[in-house]
Amino acid sequence: MNLKAAGEARLLQLNELDELRFDAYDNSRIYKERTKKMHDKAILHRDFQVSDKVLLFNSRLRLFPGKLRSRWSGPFTVTGVKFNGAIEIIGQDGIRFKVNGQRLKLYMDGAFVEKMETFRFNDLITGF
């Protein structure tokens, strides 16, 4: 056994391991950049102003009965806008809290239906 040749072979193996580790770090960085780009593409950029009326998305609706119930609650009033996307809102009961701007949408005050038509189930059956 040649100790010098074995030492050089071991040094080459360690260098190969370092190269593999650096390649893994690069691949991880590239994956994270691509994932962040895809995530940022899906984010809707919404601009809210102070005193805007907004609706809040209720993601915990599973606790309440009725699958056709609306998932939006409110209206709330915007009292502050932070640079990182956090929005401070106040409810009708006077409680203030901060939420992510992605969970809000503008509330159009005064929306109404001009004409509503109703049908009775019995009328539909006898109509055929």
Domain count, the chain: 2
d(CA 55, CA 101): 11
Show the domain range for 70: 50-128
pTM summary value: 0.54
The answer on 117 and 55 residing in a single domain is yes
Alpha-carbon span 24 to 12, nearest angstrom: 18
Decide: 54 and 89 in contact? Cβ < 8 Å: yes
Question: What are the φ and ψ backbone dihedral angles of 31, each rounded to 5 degrees?
Answer: -60, -45
Residues 58 and 90 reside in one and the same domain: yes
Taking only the tens of pLDDT, the chain with its 128 residues reads: 688 888 899 999 999 999 999 999 999 999 999 999 999 888 777 888 888 899 998 877 565 566 677 788 888 999 999 888 889 999 888 889 899 888 898 888 775 556 667 767 776 666 55
Shared domain check, 124 and 81:
yes
Are 86 and 103 in the same domain? yes
